[in-house]
Structure 1
């Protein structure tokens, strides 16, 4: 007996559902273990990532406390009390803590008169590609200031020229050293232009601007200049990133 259109549609639906059940059954028979393993591995990876995040947060908290204690010791002129914390933080996997700890170590070395040691630590920050550029810039400025007397003028110019540009946060400190290096090489006109630019830059700290005004006034426009004293390492920290 022929099927009516309604019965035919019902039959086709039953066949389609049966095929789907068979396909699902066959799929799980073939790939069920693989799917289950993938789910377990995914959950394990998620759990591992969450545990790692918690450990990182806990470690960051401990490092933050250690840095705060070290800074408190330094503020009380207790460098010995800060040494252990700074030594540990100087190898931190967190770039910010590592940078601050090393800069503090270098400052302590500088205050104790160890310019060479301070310059070496500053340089380690300046060349650390994992540390943010602002930290690296300040380290380069301070390293150059610490060893200015021992560096060839050409090296000073090469190091700091990228920072000795109007608009750069370290224009004043870097520009002052570049200008004095130009003087040492007999380039009085170039030095005068740079001193004048520093003196006219309202964003540069007033102490550096005042020195620049004085130097610009005494530099002979024809290139002859009086002997210039080297900047002190303390000059660099007076300028802060904007």
Structure 2
């Protein structure tokens, strides 16, 4: 038997085996290939849809901003609210904040407060946006709520991240001041005036309120005592004549 004949038989066997394998697994292979193609096409289509959606949301946001800039706060608020109802969380949060601000510009304090509260209550928004909304809602609520109610509103900021605590405490102090609780207000303002972690402009405001309310500020007391201490030290160190 020649080697050529043997090779031909082996090739026939391989072809026969491959044909059997194809008959058995070919449909699965084709199905898998189709799924890959469909998956790629779906991903491309999804990305295109997302891009188109983002462009639409950006256009809607710009149109609402134009209404606000042209002195039409009521229309702007409605446009922002319509965008927020159908937008992704990023645009939705910003749109809700701008809607509340537009309501405030239009003189609708209750509507503005409700809008800020809606932002603060959503769990899918950026924490900084939620914190800002919490502070804005609390600042509007001061006109109708007690200091303890305001404290409850901002307790998460006072007990949470340090960046928001001074601003939240200032609102509690203002609520106490409005309610006539000058002792509580003065204590908070004095503490904020001495708070190294508070923004400088807030410390200045707090110091002004503390002085009006007669609350002692520790840093001012220390500053007033420093020159006397220094003079006494200089006298002690003066060489004898």
The answer to whether the 8 A contact 1:172-1:209 is kept is: no
Tell me what 2:219 maps to.
none
Is 1:192 aligned to 2:187, yes or no?
yes
Unaligned runs of 5+ residues in structure 2 are 217-241
The answer to whether the 8 A contact 2:141-2:150 is kept is: no
Secondary structure of the equivalent of 2:124?
Answer: coil
Q: Quick one: which of 172, 180, 184 aligns to 1:178? A: 172
The answer to whether the 8 A contact 1:165-1:175 is kept is: no
The answer to whether the 8 A contact 1:172-1:205 is kept is: no
Q: Quick one: which of 123, 126, 133 aligns to 1:139? A: 133
Question: TM-score, normalised to structure 2's length?
Answer: 0.70
RMSD: 3.5
Secondary structure of the equivalent of 2:143?
Answer: helix
Q: In structure 2, do the counterparts of structure 1 residues 19 and 179 end up closer, same or farther at CA, with 3 Å as the change threshold?
A: farther
Tell me what 2:144 maps to.
150
Is 1:116 aligned to 2:121, yes or no?
no
Distance (Å, rounded) in 2 between the aligned partners of 1:36 and 1:79: 59
Aligned pairs, number: 210
Q: Deviations over 1:88-139 (max 9, x none)?
A: 2111332121111111111122223322211111111111112111111111
Unaligned runs of 5+ residues in structure 1 are 2-6, 222-242
Larger Rg: 2
Q: Which has the higher contact order (CA 8 A, sep 6+)?
A: 1
The equivalences for 1:1-242 within 5 A come to: 24-164=18-158, 168-181=162-175, 188=183, 192-193=187-188, 195-197=190-192, 200-201=195-196, 204=199, 206=201, 208-217=202-211, 218=213, 220=215
Deviation at 1:150, TM superposition (A): 2.4
Distance (Å, rounded) in 2 between the aligned partners of 1:121 and 1:48: 37
